A and B are shown apart, each in its own frame.
Chain A
């Protein structure tokens, strides 16, 4: 990543970061961006919450596994 990523590019990186290991430059670019951008920090948190919620979908039905 040559220049600073925009919010739009950050959303792609955040998503790909859930599926592959980002390279060093990508990770630095994200960290710097998050420091300045509340919207993208919220987006990142939302992606983590989405991942957790999918995990809970199949477990929600019964609280007492046999």
Chain B
């Protein structure tokens, strides 16, 4: 790289400080550390080249996250074109067993307690990440595109070439599975221990 002007070097240092945040953001969506690194690297390079476009904007992180989202979608699109993609067996999770034949709950959902304090909140988010890791890859991808990246279902359908109905089914499965996982691993801890140790 050629010598940078002082203000360019300063901008680069500011970009570097955002790298850990961006890496975490990308890894949550992509699940693949190498792909996440690549997306962040492309983002920082694009940002360095496009410094002029940033001038006058108030929040560097927001601007970078916007660029990163495009790079992440590019990465997912590229992966979808590879032959192995789509061959993944669909885990056809069925939640029928949660309901009686007449459609009522077998076990009524209990209210979730708020985590108490910052430490407990952090532990809770850790459990949530473990639960996310247990989702089938495609289900997790669709869910995180919706909830983490904030895409609407129309955009998700277009990128992954699935129908809206399929999209809603995958989102439903993801939410049901995460709810069960959190209920079991976090919220259910203090509740009806006797019943669960039978």
Contacts and interface: CB of A to CB of B under 8 A. Distances in A.
A65 B65 CA distance: 13
Given A39-B105, A51-B147, A60-B125, A6 B179 contact: no
Contacts of B104: 6-8
Contact of B103 (A6, A18, A46, A47): A6
Contacts of A23: none
A2 interface: no
B110 interface: yes
Contacts, number: 102
Interface of A: 5-9, 11-12, 15-16, 18-20, 38-40, 42-43, 45-47, 49-51, 53-58, 60-62, 65-66
Nearest to A11: B176
A49 B99 CA distance: 22
A39 B109 contact: yes
Given A7-B104, A50-B179, A20 B153 contact: yes
A10 to B, nearest CB: 9
Contact of B175 (A15, A57, A58, A65): A15
Q: How large is the interface on B (under 10, 10 to 19, 20 to 34, 35 or more residues)?
A: 35 or more
A19 B153 contact: yes
Given A7-B99, A50-B182, A56-B125, A65 B21 contact: yes
23 contacts: A5-B103, A6-B102, A7-B103, A7-B104, A8-B96, A8-B99, A8-B103, A11-B176, A16-B168, A18-B171, A42-B109, A45-B112, A50-B182, A54-B128, A55-B147, A56-B121, A56-B125, A57-B125, A58-B28, A60-B121, A61-B21, A66-B18, A66-B60
Interface string B12-24: 0010011011001
A65 B109 contact: no
B171 A46 contact: no
A57 B122 CA distance: 9
B146 interface: yes
A53 B109 contact: no
B179 to A, nearest CB: 6
B30 to A, nearest CB: 13
Contacts of A61: 20-21, 24
B111 interface: yes
A13 to B, nearest CB: 10
A42 B166 CA distance: 26
